Chain A
Amino acid sequence: MKSTLEIKGLKAAINGTEILHGLNLTVPKGEVHAIMGKNGSGKSTLAKVMAGHPDYEVTGGDVLLDGKTILGLDPDVRAREGLFLAFQYPSEIPGVTIANFMRAALNARRPEGQEVDAVEYYNELYKKMDLLKIDRSFTSRAVNDGFSGGEKKKNEILQMAMLEPKYAVLDETDSGLDIDALKIVSHGVNSLRGPKMGILVITHYQRLLDYIVPDVVHVMVDGRIVKSGPKELALEMEKKGYDWVENLATV
């Protein structure tokens, strides 16, 4: 069995406009890959299409999780198969506490009648919260309701830590974070790195990659990956800007 998240010639459109024009990318388990790209290059679209957002239509190609296609599956089935998306703009769920939400998500992965043990669950939750330097009172707050930008992103990483996905896609997790929050969030992600998980970090800025150091960097322009390379590529992008790769795209 393959241990990769593989995107093959993926084409996707919204409202009849094609955004992804045949995108290729493979993230092996145990590696951290980064996608860099300007606003409008299709980065967030890629994340949403992989997760199965109903607004997008896949017009070609495939997305394979450990060799099996996930296209056509409902978003919740993809999630239970092991795909996690840390949202750029996480939704608020008024009245639903983080503790209840996470427990419901964990129970959804188990057979009926075998719900998570409450004591074990809280032990696990508190352990992960300590790791992310999150105050205990956090669990009784409604999911993302009235959260600061930093709190929202910490909450995303907390959920990732609790759900232990096979592959995680982090969509602009650095946006809206001050340097302290960025360090904490990065520390959380780094602690989850390991042979059991493949991580795809999507970002606009190189700054995040100082803290979450990727194994491979991909540059995305106009719905395609135009250049891939080692972590140093991120620094090069920072220096030279996106203009020089855009020329590559048109070649």
Chain B
Amino acid sequence: MSEATTLEKPDLKIDQDEGNFSYPEDYAFDAGTGLTEKTIDYICEVKEDPDWVREFRKKALRIFREKPLPTHWASKDLENIHFDDFRYYLSKGAKPKRTWDEVPDDVKRTFERLGIPEKERAFLAGVEAQFDSEAAYSNIKKAVAEQGVIFVGSREGLKEHPEIFRKWFGKVIPTADNKFSALNSAVFSGGSFIYVPKGVKVKHPLQAYFRINAENFGQFERTLIIVDEGAELTYMEGCTAPKFDSVTLHSAVVELVAMKGAKLQYITVQNWSPNVFNLVTKRGLAHEESEIKWIDCNIGSRLTMKYPGVILKGRKARGEVLSIALANNGQHQDTGAKMIHAADETTSNIISKSISIGSGRATYRGLVHIPRHLKGCKNNTECDALLINTESRTDTYPAIVTRGEGNSVQHEASVSKVSAEQIFYMQQRGLSEGQAMSLSVNGFVNELVRQFPMEYSVELKRLIDLEMEGSVG
């Protein structure tokens, strides 16, 4: 089938207004468009960055300029990003909010649009929500603070806790890791800094709430989480974005550190509007007998490139990536996982589920590396793809490098299709075509979603319903 006929599929329409949120903007601080040393100076001044951060940013800018786009292996669509057209810093100019009453109404409305129940909103007491570059709402639940947990924005983190912050900042993901990690390092603002002291098990998940709300505005959160020996933490990040006609760039860097015996779970459910480039670098460093788990759900965006990884540095460390990607018409989800085994008896598990609708394209890219000198390492990789229409596309690029003896890897992949017979069967029971597709897709991801915290699985189901409603004519 030729490209032209693939794109002309009249019975598949997306309601472009569905799930989009937009609110009036009032920005006290605006760095203007384009990216130069002056932009960096502006950001540093507004944020009152210490000198070492200014130097860090400027070095990163040089690296960003030198590095080519990874179009030799990734999508040529990256060439459509015009870096000079973006604003690299915007701030509400307001101090982080402390109570629910002080949260802006438009943020509350977004919660409402997503259908988060009243009770859950109250439960979001441990929430750190971001309005554009700065935290609009930041409230550490008392109990958490009493346990000695630090949960602040990245800016506060680097200023008030430099002894922990500087030790790990940029160490898991070096500035020069890739062009977009360099970009983030140059202009980062917002994001969270969390430190969980030794032996502290944080009961409730901490939650961050991000969204973008300015045209031509790239958002560059920087999150650093350190969970000390024997401590445990679950962190949840949710994203919704308003719709704009021109391209929006999102490029976050998230670094996780799990010390000996620690457990760290990082959960993302994102629903970007279809014009967003979402190019994110996420990696964790797992010390001896620790466990790092990424749960990553990608819905929406024009192009998402994201491969959460774990460096299994200590003996018996364990890494896991569970991911779901949904690529609707015109969207490309290029996602996957990286597992770098660097110690004996380390184990990793990757389960990836992707759904392609209409002309949507889902790509799985995996990297599992087990060097020759290691013993007793294990990896399990499963990637399943579901195609909703015959012209949908899915590709799998698993790269598994295992050397040495006594290491084991397993790889399973499947591609399935929602058949016309299946839809007819469900329709015969009274479900509309959209409801039938929604149910099929939810069924496909069900087993994986069951491992998510309750509120996230409910939200994910709603997002899938919303996507599927819009995808049938």
Give chain A's interface residues, CB within 8 Å of chain B: 51-55, 74-76, 78-80, 84-85, 87, 90-96, 100-101, 104-105, 108-109, 142, 159, 163
A74 engages B433 (CB within 8 Å) = yes
Task: Check B75 for interface membership: any CB of A closer than 8 A.
Answer: no
Residues of chain A within 8 A of B416, CB atoms compared = 94
Whole-angstrom distance between the Cβ of A237 and the nearest chain B Cβ: 29
Given contacts A93-B422, A95-B445, A96-B446, contact A104 B439 (CB under 8 A): yes
- State whether the Cβ of B424 lies closer than 8 Å to any Cβ in chain A: yes
From B425, which residue of chain A is reached at the shortest CB distance?
A91
Chain B residues within an 8 Å CB radius of A109: 430
Q: Does more than half of chain B's interface fall in helix, strand or loop, or is it mixed?
A: helix
A90 and B431 contact, CB distance less than 8 A = no
Residues of A near B428 (CB, < 8 A) are 51, 75-76, 78-79, 84-85, 87
Q: Is B420 an interface residue (CB 8 A)?
A: yes
User: Are the C-beta atoms of A91 and B419 separated by less than 8 Å?
Assistant: yes
- Inter-chain CA distance A171–B161, complex, in Å, is 71
- Chain A residues contacting B424 (CB-CB under 8 Å) are 51, 53-54, 75, 91
C-beta contact mask, B392-416 vs A, less than 8 Å → 1, else 0?
0000000000000000000000001
Q: Which of B424-473 contact A (CB under 8 A)?
A: 424-433, 435-436, 439-440, 442-447
Residue of A nearest to B421 (CB): A91
Instruction: Give me 16 A-to-B residue pairs in the complex whose CB atoms sit less than 8 angstroms apart, sorted by A's number.
Output: A53-B424, A76-B427, A80-B430, A91-B425, A93-B422, A93-B439, A95-B443, A95-B444, A95-B447, A101-B426, A101-B429, A101-B439, A104-B431, A105-B430, A105-B431, A142-B443
Q: Which residues of A contact B444 (CB under 8 A)?
A: 94-95
Q: How far is the CA of A76 from the CA of B429 in the complex (A)?
A: 7
Contacts A92-B422, A108-B429 aside, 7 further interface pairs with beta carbons under 8 A come to A74-B427, A76-B427, A76-B428, A76-B431, A79-B427, A93-B443, A109-B430
Residues of A within 8 A of B445 (CB): 95
Q: Which of A54, A95, A108 is within 8 Å of B430, CB to CB?
A: A108
Residue of A nearest to B419 (CB): A91
**Complex CA distance for A76 and B445, rounded to whole angstroms:** 24
How many angstroms from the CA of A79 to the CA of B432 in the assembled complex? 10
B425 with A90: CB separation less than 8 A: yes
Q: In the assembly, what is the distance between CA of A91 and CA of B428, in Å?
A: 11
A-chain residues with CB within 8 Å of residue B442 when the two chains form the complex? 95-96
List chain B residues, Cβ under 8 A from A100: 439
The one of B420, B430, B443, B447 in contact with A79, judged by C-beta atoms closer than 8 angstroms, is B430
Number of residues of chain B lying within 8 A (CB) of chain A: 25
CB distance from A190 to the nearest CB of B (A): 22
Among A55, A94, A142: residue with most chain B CB under 10 A = A94
Q: How far is the CA of A128 from the CA of B428 in the complex (A)?
A: 20
Across the interface, which residues of A come within 8 angstroms of B443, CB to CB?
93-96, 142
* Complex contacts, A84 vs chain B, CB 8 Å: 428
The complex places the Cα of A104 from the Cα of B431 at a distance, in Å, of 7
Contact check, A96 vs B439: say whether CB atoms are below 8 A apart.
yes
With A and B bound together, what is the CA distance between A94 and B432 in angstroms?
Answer: 18
CB-defined contacts of B420 to chain A, threshold 8 Å: 54-55
CA distance A55 to B435 in the complex (A): 21
Establish whether residues B440 and A96, one from each chain, have CB atoms under 8 Å apart when the complex forms. Answer: yes
Q: Which of A75, A85, A108, A109 has the most CB of B within 10 A?
A: A75
CA distance in complex: A85, B428 (Å)? 7
Smallest beta-carbon distance B437→chain A, Å: 11
A75 and B427 contacting across the interface, CB-CB below 8 Å: yes
Assembly CA distance A217 to B445 (angstroms):
46
- When distances are taken between beta carbons in the complex, the residues of chain B under 8 Å from A142 are 443
Q: Are A105 and B429 in contact (CB under 8 A)?
A: yes
Nearest-Cβ distance from residue A15 to partner chain B, whole angstroms: 14
- A51 contact set on B, CB distance < 8 A: 424, 428
Minimum CB–CB distance for B231 against chain A, Å = 35
Residues of B within 8 A of A87 (CB): 425, 428
Task: For the complex formed, measure the closest distance between the CB of B64 and the CB atoms of chain A, giving whole angstroms.
Answer: 43
Min CB distance A159 to B, Å, is 7
Say how far B326's CB is from chain A's closest CB, in angstroms.
15
A84 to B425, CA, bound (A): 11
**Residues A108 and B439 in contact, CB atoms below 8 Å apart:** no
State in angstroms the CA–CA spacing of A137 and B421 once bound together.
Answer: 26
Question: Least Cβ distance of A105 to chain B in Å?
Answer: 4
